[in-house]
Amino acid sequence: MPNHLSVLGIIHTAISILAILSGFYALALDGKIIPSSKLGKIYIILTILTCLTSLPIMKLGHPTAGHYLAVLILILLPIAIFVRQLRIFGKLADYVQVILMSATLFFSLVPAIVETLTRLPIDAPLASGPDSPIVQKGLSCLVILFIVGAAYQLVKLRDSHKSNSTAGKTA
C-alpha cells in the first residue's frame, strides 16, 4: 500500500483535521478567528500541534514546502495573537489580526489539499504530485477563496468599527 502513514503521520493528520475544522467553525460562528476566544485558543493550540508534528515527518528525506509553511505559521501565530499590543499597527491592528489568522488557516490548507489529492483514494490517488493539474487547480481555488474570504472579513470589520464609532458619537 503506497499511501501508508506512520503513527506520527496518523496523529498529525488527526490533529490537523481538528485544527482546520475548528478554524472553519470559528469563521462560521464569529466571522473571524478570534485568538482570545475559547474557539480561537483551541484553533491556535491545535494549529501549533499540527505544525510541530509535521516537522519530523519527511517522506522524501528532506524538508518540503509543507515544512516551510509550518514554520511560517508558527511565526505568524504569535504576531497575530499579540498584534493589538504592537503599537506600530495602531488602528489597523484588528485588520492585521484578521488577515494573519486567516492566513494561518490558508497556509494550513495548502498541504492539506496536496496531501489529500496525492493520497486519496488509496488505490488510485487523484494526483501524482504537487505539480499535478488537479492539485494546481485546487490551490488556485484556495487562493481565490482566501482573497474573497479575507476581503469579506475586512469589510465586516470595517462596518463593525463604523457602527461602533457612530453609536459612541450618538450616545
List the one residue out of 91, 96, 61 whose CA is nearest residue 80. Answer: 96
List the one residue out of 104, 112, 111 whose CA is nearest residue 44. Answer: 104
List the one residue out of 33, 158, 40 whose CA is nearest residue 99. Answer: 33
Contact 117, 51 (CB under 8 A): no
Quick one: pLDDT band at residue 1, thresholds 50, 70, 90? very low
Question: pLDDT (tens digit, 9 = 90+) per residue, 60-107?
Answer: 788 999 999 999 999 999 999 999 998 899 999 999 999 999 999 999
pLDDT at residue 163 above 90? no
User: How many Å apart are CA 134 and CA 9, to the nearest integer?
Assistant: 23
- In this prediction the pTM is 0.91
At 144, list the grid cell: 481565490
DSSP class of 156: H
Q: Which residue has the higher pLDDT, 47 or 165?
A: 47
168 C-beta neighbours (distance < 10 Å), count: 8
